[in-house]
Amino acid sequence: MWNFLHRFASPPYFYRLSADIARWTGWICLGLLGAGLYGGLIAAPPDYQQGDSYRIIFVHVPSAWMSLFIYTAMAVAGGIALIWRIKMAEIVTVASAPIGASFTFLALVTGSLWGKPMWGTWWVWDARLTSELILLFLYFGVIALSLAIEDRRTASRAAAILCVVGVVNIPIVHYSVEWWSTLHQGPTITKFSAPSIHLSMLIPLLSMAVAFMLFYLTVLLFRMRCELLERERHSRWVRELALEPEAAVRRV
């Protein structure tokens, strides 16, 4: 296992293997996404209180989960990059930020669309919504740092520091509903002793969550491949990679 992780941290090995991984995760993502959308939008029954308006949770909840998960992954990768100076960890931090920002923005927008009919308002400055908005600004900060500094490795390290410092906001977002009185609905999925969601709704919701996770992994791999080629464009293995199509044409 450690040998595989060590080899996966090698840029040439990662570049060649990541395409196959992304291909599989992409197809599985499409399958789960279709199943989740069908189960959530068509097969699942209406909620006894919210009617059909609750169906936005099949996008909102996985998006919110992913906004927390991706930033946590960025903080872990940033810590690895700062301690062990591993280039691939730096790339994970930079490449994940736009994806995480997109999920966070989607969670905020769908939450507002859900909140208007349920709470009677598009937005309130309660703990959950405010901390999620701060998370979006943290993502923007990581993106801005990675673009503002010309040297890519220096930019990645600066972004990694922000990720490690900003990770303190993640437990605040997660536990804000329990720590403070907010309008936001309390936990339902994690109440394993007394779950508050029916199985007909839970299965498509989990299917969408896994699909979003695989979507993140697929897009991350492609973004990492592009970033890696940009950083390693003067290295020998990239030059050899560029010559492979030409060599194939000559053999034909």
Instruction: Tell me, yes or no, whether 157 lies in a domain.
Output: yes
Q: What CATH number should be reported for the domain holding residue 47?
A: 1.20.120
The distance between the two most distant Cα atoms of the chain, rounded to a whole number of Å, is 70
Instruction: Tell me, yes or no, whether 90 lies in a domain.
Output: yes
What is the domain count for the chain? 1
Instruction: Tell me, yes or no, whether 244 lies in a domain.
Output: no
Instruction: Tell me, yes or no, whether 196 lies in a domain.
Output: yes
- Residue range of the domain that includes 146: 20-239
Residue with tokens 């939450």: 111
Number of other residues whose CB lies within 10 A of the CB of residue 50: 14
pTM for this entry: 0.91
- Please indicate whether residue 134 or residue 4 has the higher confidence score (pLDDT): 134
Instruction: Tell me, yes or no, whether 130 lies in a domain.
Output: yes
Per-residue model confidence as pLDDT tens digits over 31-76: 999 999 999 999 999 987 788 888 999 999 999 999 999 999 999 9
On whether the CB atoms of residues 209 and 65 are closer than 8 A, the answer is yes
pLDDT of residue 252: 41
Q: How far apart are CA 72 and CA 166, in angstroms?
A: 9
Instruction: Tell me, yes or no, whether 201 lies in a domain.
Output: yes
Instruction: Tell me, yes or no, whether 170 lies in a domain.
Output: yes
Instruction: Tell me, yes or no, whether 221 lies in a domain.
Output: yes
